[in-house]
């Protein structure tokens, strides 16, 4: 049950059943030690999926203590090496991979996996490491055996390897991974392959097509997993219920009426206790939840009021709302050939420059009902025209759901200022904006292929306001050069829970 639950992503339920299995085994019984090792190894895999790497390493060590043969011992060794790799301890990971190869296992698919993982770890340790021969060697073994999951891993690692130096080769291996994963219906690998295709494709149309495919498949996969978990829980409930019913029936057959009466009384008392404790637990949970939500709402309101009173300065409203809004109008008029634009643009430009010095008081709006994904999409693409292409990656509602109202508002104002600055100064033909969540932080990246920031470039009010907004979110913003020589901006800030 634990293994099946891990396969469908129900990790905490898998942990519960695996721990129950471990308690059911006798570690001193040699006939049960192999199963005990398997339980610890699977529990280590679950901890690895939950990113609890130190915990996973301890569980793999436990598993190894119960395995006596090489065929079983190699699995926890590989898992332990992977845990070290994930936590960034590449030296220990490589040492374990070397020790596995030194054992010369007969299973060539296992050898291919170790070679592939070892090469990837060395690349992570040293991006200049010549890993290509090892990656190709692993691929050949897997190709000869036609082991599809292994082929997916090889194609993924080769695509990542070539992404730094040969985009065409990286794209070719990403397509190979997508074709193989599609053939064996491995939806997790399909999603990974599509993610690579989005990043590697040069055609905007191709990126949009892969993006839509990724969204549909990801939603379908999540629905399938949720459905499987619910069905699994229902099966467990029915099995337990049938077991209880059979137990009652057995006692009814074997015992006298007096025994049956006593049994029913006992079951009734147990149910009363169970129901009573359940009701009490529900009442306590609801009460604590209501108190917590009320307290959190109060603290959140106090915090937002304090921030608003401290930060709302008069120059920002006109700059962000009026000036940048007028510049957006200018951008549209500039590309409308049917309008006499010179005179109108001159007048708006004067109004734009004057408005930047006017004071204001901001009013924080209620953003609970706004579709931030669409709003940001429309904002960013309003700056695209025949000479400038805008690419957006990661603009999902799941990203915006993790942000507070204040974070959403400040980030949208920052994005608007960055795009205005791009339009005015960058001369960029390609602009890419990415959104990503990692652990407890949100990341936003901006890249273009324009002229970049001059060496003696000084920030005006707009970019200074951008810096102050990110600082107000306890975040960081860094300005630099992109790979193509244009501007590069990286923004990061910690997440705050938005659950009521």
Q: 450-467, pLDDT tens digit by residue?
A: 998 877 666 667 778 889
What digits encode the pLDDT tens for the residues 213-255?
888 888 776 766 666 666 666 666 666 666 676 666 676 667 7
Q: Is the pLDDT confidence value at 105 over 60?
A: yes
pLDDT tens, position by position, 277-314: 889 888 898 888 788 788 878 877 876 666 565 565 55
pLDDT of residue 454: 79
> What's the CATH architecture for 2-201?
Alpha Horseshoe (1.25)
- Both structure tokens of 311: 């930060």
Q: How far is Cα 375 from Cα 371, in angstroms, rounded to an integer?
A: 6
Q: What is the pLDDT of residue 365?
A: 47
Q: Are 402 and 498 in contact (CB under 8 A)?
A: yes
Does pLDDT of 178 surpass 50?
Answer: yes
Domain ranges, ordered by start, for the chain: 2-201, 230-310, 312-363, 367-500
Q: In the prediction, which pLDDT does 11 show?
A: 85
Q: Cα angle vertex 228, ends 225, 232, to 5°?
A: 140
Q: Does CATH number 3.30.565.10 belong to domain 367-500?
A: yes
pTM greater than the 0.75 cutoff: no
Quote the CA–CA distance of 80 and 306 in Å, as a whole number.
48
Residue with more model confidence, 223 or 31: 31
pLDDT at position 498 is 45
């Amino acid at each position: 049950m634990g293994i099946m639950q891990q396969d469908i992503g129900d990790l905490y339920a898998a942990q519960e059943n695996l721990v129950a299995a471990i308690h059911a085994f006798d570690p001193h019984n040699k006939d049960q030690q192999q199963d005990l090792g398997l339980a610890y190894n699977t529990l280590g895999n679950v901890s690895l999926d939950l990113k609890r790497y130190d915990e996973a390493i301890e569980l793999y060590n436990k598993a190894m203590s119960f395995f006596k043969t090489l065929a079983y011992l190699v699995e926890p060794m590989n898992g332990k090496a992977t845990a070290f790799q994930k936590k960034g301890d590449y030296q220990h990971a490589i040492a374990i991979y070397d020790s596995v190869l030194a054992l010369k296992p007969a299973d060539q698919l296992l050898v291919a996996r170790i070679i592939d993982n070892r090469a990837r770890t060395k690349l992570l340790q040293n991006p200049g490491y010549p890993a290509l021969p090892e990656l190709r060697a692993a691929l050949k073994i897997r190709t000869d055996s036609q082991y599809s999951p292994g082929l997916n891993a090889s194609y993924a690692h080769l695509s990542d390897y070539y992404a730094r130096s040969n985009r065409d080769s990286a794209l070719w291996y990403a397509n190979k991974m997508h074709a193989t994963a599609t053939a064996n219906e491995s939806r997790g690998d399909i999603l990974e392959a599509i993610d690579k295709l989005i990043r590697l494709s040069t055609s905007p149309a191709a990126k949009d097509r892969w993006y839509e495919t990724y969204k549909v498949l990801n939603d379908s996969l999540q629905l399938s997993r949720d459905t499987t978990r619910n069905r699994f829980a229902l099966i467990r409930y029915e099995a337990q219920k049938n077991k209880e019913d059979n137990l009652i029936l057995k006692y009814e057959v074997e015992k006298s009426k007096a025994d049956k009466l006593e049994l029913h009384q006992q079951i009734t008392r147990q149910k009363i206790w169970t129901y009573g404790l359940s009701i009490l637990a529900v009442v306590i949970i609801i009460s604590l939840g209501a108190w917590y939500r009320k307290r959190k709402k109060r603290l959140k309101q106090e915090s937002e009021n304090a921030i608003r009173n401290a930060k709302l300065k008069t120059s920002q409203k006109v700059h962000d709302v009026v000036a940048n809004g007028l510049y957006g109008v200018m951008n549209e008029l500039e590309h409308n050939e049917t309008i006499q634009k010179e005179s109108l643009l001159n007048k708006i430009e004067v109004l734009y420059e004057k408005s930047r010095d006017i004071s204001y008081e901001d009013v924080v709006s209620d953003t609970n009902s706004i579709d931030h994904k669409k709003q940001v999409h429309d904002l960013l693409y309003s700056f695209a025209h025949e000479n400038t292409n805008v690419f957006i990656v990661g603009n999902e509602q799941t990203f915006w759901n993790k942000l507070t109202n204040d974070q959403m508002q400040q980030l949208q104002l920052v994005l608007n200022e960055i795009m205005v600055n791009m339009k005015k100064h960058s001369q960029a033909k390609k602009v890419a904006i990415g959104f990503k969540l990692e652990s407890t932080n949100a990341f936003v990246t901006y890249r273009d292929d324009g002229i970049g920031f001059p060496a003696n470039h000084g920030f005006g009010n707009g970019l200074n306001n951008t810096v102050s907004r990110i600082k107000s979110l306890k975040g960081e913003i860094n300005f630099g050069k992109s790979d193509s020589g244009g501007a590069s901006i990286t923004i990061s800030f910690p997440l705050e829970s938005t659950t009521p």
